[in-house]
Amino acid sequence: MDHHLQFFIDGRWVEPAIPVAVDVIDPSTEEAFTRIALGSAEDVERAVAAAKAAFPAFSVWPKQDRLALLRRILSEYERRYEEIAEAVSREMGAPITFARDSQAAAGKAHLVATIEALEDFVFTERRGTTMVVREPIGVCALITPWNWPLNQIVCKVAPAIAAGCTMVLKPSEIAPVSGIIFAEIMEAAGTPAGVFNLVNGTGPDVGQVMAGHPDVDMVSFTGSTRAGIIVAKTAADTVKRVAQELGGKSANIILPDADFEHAVSEGVLSCFGNSGQSCDAPTRMLVPGDRHEEALRIAKAAAENLKVGDPQAPGTDLGPVVSGQQFDKIQRLIETGIEEGATLVTGGPGRPEGPNRGYYVRPTVFGNVSNDMTIAREEIFGPVLSILPYHGEEEAIAIANDTVYGLAAYVQSTDIERARNLAARLRAGSVYLNYPDWDTHAPFGGYKQSGNGREYADWGIHDFLEIKGIAGYGE
């Protein structure tokens, strides 16, 4: 049997306190394929109590025992790998190859990176006669989004385990099935009762209750900036730590010396990957003004070469966006771009040719975008690219930094020293030079309204630790 109508609390699969369920929609068909239970404050209370009771024993587990647990989790994850990929493809419409090679792969990669980081992690440090000790912060509320479900679950659960924390996880109710499989993995790996708990539910009914709970010591939240502000305000009353990875509107600066064909084409693919549903997607492409028309031509060809359709069909590049709500939001913003005078290069409102149902969005490129237009300011979270002309490097930097967000930025140049110097002036938590390979040991997080704190490898472990100084410890 599956556990879709249950929660994992204190080492057992349990019924919700109040029997409320909701459909989980396959965005490629707009039809429900399962139902999950929705939690309440009473379910949160049970889960937090279990985590609090488990903390004293688990917090003093030796590092080697925590490493052994993480390795067992990794082994179970590998055993369930194909089920995870199928679940992600079904719940969020990701093409199956992308779900397998990127979505499921991300969770495995973060488990490996956390294990490697923990092997070398130092929890105690002598400074003269003072001993500095890094200790687990306590009970953690982990709230994760639907767009990269396993990536974000593992980015929080793995470092929390590494630090010696106990936790309650609330995955997104929009794409929850992969999270339920992950809870089954935690159970199969022999995670002690109460160390890991899962409660499904909505943000107001479960997430905010977790954030405000007096026995929760830390909230780690990934989602929209709007929701992150609500979580932070709720958590403020109990003065708990809040780590947040929020929205983005990342600039991709293509310098005049770049390999233009490659830089523009790859920028389109980077923006549209995961159907444009990535917080660090390079959604604002900045190109030299005198090469703007050339950029539009290249971007149009790249976008129109993408196959949008059935996530299970061979050769599909982009599936649907995750929900009707997201589809409607993206359509409104595309129409706003047209109304505000941006040049529609390709795509536009409505579904692409072919599917007559499903939340499919036409890969859309706008040119002649100015940075005060709505499509350059708001996070669209769909396959929509804005191309902005600039005149000189100083203007490019000013445009890139002229945003409330600061999650990521991108620079393309054949002169690596020039790219490095420009990166130093960009107000973003991550800067990617010339489309590098993904690095799970690099810090990930944002400046400004893109959040605070850092995830990945040892950076993530640090977020789940308190620092204690024991003065007079002796030589």
For residue 445, is it within any domain?
Answer: no
Sheet harboring 284-288: ordered strands across?
343-346, 364-367, 384-390, 284-288, 251-254, 408-412, 430-433
What is the C-alpha separation between 125 and 211, in angstroms, rounded?
32
Which three-class secondary structure state does DSSP give residue 225?
A: helix
Residue 206: CB partners within 8 Å, gap ≥ 6? 38, 39, 40, 43, 44, 170, 199, 200
Considering Cα of 189, then 190, then 195, then 198, what sign does the dihedral take?
Answer: positive
Q: Do 295 and 336 fall into the same domain?
A: yes
Amino acid at the residue 330:
I
What is the distance of C-alpha 101 from the center of its chain? Answer: 16
Indicate if 257 and 390 belong to the same structural domain.
yes
Burial (CB count <10 Å: 0-12, 13-18, 19+), residue 350: exposed
Q: Give domain status of residue 46, yes or no.
A: yes
Residue-level pLDDT at 389: 98
- The string of pLDDT tens digits covering residues 419-470 is 999 999 999 999 999 999 999 999 999 999 999 999 999 999 999 999 999 9
Indicate which residues carry an active-site annotation: 245, 279
Structure-token pair, residue 410: 């991108």
Radius of gyration of the chain (CA): 23
Q: Is the four-CA dihedral 320, 323, 324, 329 of positive or negative sign?
A: negative
148 and 287 fall within a common domain: no
**Residue 317 forms part of a structural domain:** yes
pLDDT at 79: 98
410 within a domain of the structure (yes/no): yes
**Total domain count, the chain:** 2
For the stretch 296-322, pLDDT in tens is 999 999 999 999 999 999 999 999 999
Read off the CATH number of the domain in which 330 is found. 3.40.309.10
Residue 183 neighbours by CB distance under 10 Å? 24
Quote the CA–CA distance of 238 and 215 in Å, as a whole number: 9
Share the mean pLDDT of the chain.
97
The arithmetic mean of pLDDT across residues 19-46, rounded, is 98
Does residue 1 have a pLDDT over 80? no
Residues 434 and 456 in one domain: no
Q: Are both 221 and 282 inside the same structural domain?
A: no
pLDDT bin (cut points 50, 70, 90) of residue 155 is very high
**Please, what is the Cα angle at 318 between 325 and 145, to 5 degrees?**
45
In a domain, 116, yes or no: yes
C-alpha–C-alpha distance, residues 301 and 164, integer Å? 50
Strand blocks (E) in 42-145? 124-127, 130-136, 139-143
The reply to whether 371 and 286 lie within a common domain is yes
Per the domain annotation, does 1 fall within a domain?
no
Q: Indicate whether 280 and 241 sit together in one domain.
A: no
Range of the structural domain that residue 376 is part of: 251-439
Q: For the domain that residue 115 is a member of, what is the CATH number?
A: 3.40.605.10
Residues 105 and 189 in one domain: yes
Same-domain pairing of 241 and 282: no
CA 299-301-302 angle, to 5 degrees, is 65
Whether residues 259 and 224 fall in one domain:
no
In a domain, residue 148? The reply is yes
* pLDDT bracket for residue 332 (50, 70, 90): very high
Classify residue 383: in a domain, yes or no. yes
Same domain, 221 and 273: no
The span from the CA of 37 to the CA of 173, in Å, is 9
Predicted confidence at residue 356, as pLDDT, reads: 86
Residues 193 and 261 reside in one and the same domain: no
